Every structure is written in C-alpha cells, then in structure tokens.
Chain A
C-alpha cells in the first residue's frame, strides 16, 4: 500500500479531486493540513491546485512558509516523490524546490480549457507509466501559468532532460498549444534528481471516462508502480 499525502492550504480547491484520483489507483490517500508538521509516513506528497492564501503577494509565496513545508522539504531532500499541480507547482517554485517562477499569463486572461501536451520525461515517479513522446490532452485552469526562468536554469532543464511536460502544437482551431506564453513551451519540470515534479495542467481532472477522459490517470498510476519510487 502506498501512502499519499495531499496537502491542504487555505484556498486549495483541487484537493478533493486529487485525493479521489489517488484513491482510484489504489493508494492510501489522506489529507494533511498546512499547519501540520508531519506527513504521517507518506511515500508520496502531492500539493494540489487552488489559490493558497488568495494568491496574495505572488502565487505560492505565502504557502511556501506554511509549517508543513519543512516536512515537504525534508521528504524531497530524502528523495521522496513530490508532485505539485498548478498552485502546487507555483508553491514548489517559490520554495526553491524547482527553478524558475510562474507569472501572469501572457494574454492576462484566466485560461480554463484542455491543452495538448507531450510527456517528454518518463524517468519520474509521476510519469513512468507513460511512453516518452505520449501526446495527452490535459485541462489547464490558471491565471499565473507563464513559466519563466534564467537562461542558465533553462539550459540546465533542457540539457538535463528535465522538461516533464511540454505544450504541443495543437489544433489551430482551438488556439495555440502554448496557452500562456511559457518559456520553451514548458508545462512541467522536475528537479535534478527527478523526484520533485511540478506541472501546470490538472491530471486529476481527467482520471475517469465519466469526466471525459482518463488521460491524466497515468500520473497517478506511475507512483503506484513497483519501482516508481526509484524511477527519478
């Protein structure tokens, strides 16, 4: 049984969906409140989407200092899998667990629609169930999704094969594949070790046919695989 902690911050709003997705793949999933200091023996930690602390100051900037984040930092440093989805990705960047930052979408509007992405890196605990190059349609729902980083960080990401998901050229009728102006069409990255992953799209929203698609389920099936925890 794999224990999955879904961290709730004030303003998280994808926590229930994320817990449900983890349960669907057979995980022992539970919530951890942001004021908790223990992850209660979690194998996997997920920071869900939402608007922690109302996105005050910058998205993720306040959540980063929540008491639970010290435990998340330790879990990550020990090689434990950490996934940040949307606001979770923003928090991981603010916490310096991932390089770069997520700024206001280039078009300024909040974007909520499915976008085409390609799974580029499968050597992570959250993408090892996919074949490299797999094309997915995953929903995005964000106002601050434009990934930026220094040139040096971009070089490290690209040369290290650390782009996990990349926005793909989509159906021209549906608009550009890259919805927010992200550098290098980056939709998701991982740290150097590969155990910490951040993605802007919401895989937890497409995990059952009744939701229209189960293309995101693989991100949850991945960490259930026998060798997933060593797949970074």
Chain B
C-alpha cells in the first residue's frame, strides 16, 4: 500500500525564530497590525510504501528523528493518509 505522509517541522517553542520575527514585521508593514507570534517552519511531503498505516507512520517517525527534523531545535508532527 502507498501512503502520503505530511511532515510539519517547526522551530522549538522558546527558541528565537528570527525568520518568524522578520515575517511578522513585514506583515505589520503591510497593515496587518494585529499579527503576532509568527513562526516559520517547514513542510515536507512524501509517499511511502508500507504494509499498513502504522508501519508507514513508524517509518515516517524514524525519518523525522534521523533526518527531517533536528531533535535539538525542532519539533515535528505527522499526518499519514491512504493514497
């Protein structure tokens, strides 16, 4: 079976996110005065062939822990859907 995996990687809460700050300033300049707490992360999508949804999720979690996210500075969330 093939599964579509959506990975969302975000800078860990509490760590300075200068990209988020810069985007927040830019949004302010555009007139979006009420914007706050902007954070910039990364989205990764991939297909994985696996015998079950659980197995696909297990593989995806392993990918995140070993490569797609840095456990020192980032947190990740996974969504797995059937193709």
Report which B residues bind A (CB closer than 8 A).
Answer: 11, 15-16, 18-19, 22, 67-68, 70, 72-73
Contact = CB atoms under 8 A, between A and B. Distances in A.
Contacts of A204: none
B73 A108 contact: no
A105 interface: yes
B19 A94 contact: no
Contact of A108 (B11, B18, B67): B18
Contact of A150 (B67, B70, B72): B72
B70 A61 contact: yes
Residue picked from B11, B18, B19, most chain A C-beta under 10 Å: B18
Interface residues of A, number: 20
Given A106-B16, A108-B18, A181-B16, A100 B72 contact: yes
Nearest to B22: A108
Given A61-B70, A106-B16, 20 more contacts: A58-B70, A61-B67, A93-B72, A99-B72, A100-B72, A101-B70, A101-B73, A103-B15, A103-B16, A103-B73, A105-B18, A106-B18, A107-B18, A108-B22, A146-B16, A148-B15, A148-B72, A150-B72, A181-B16, A181-B18
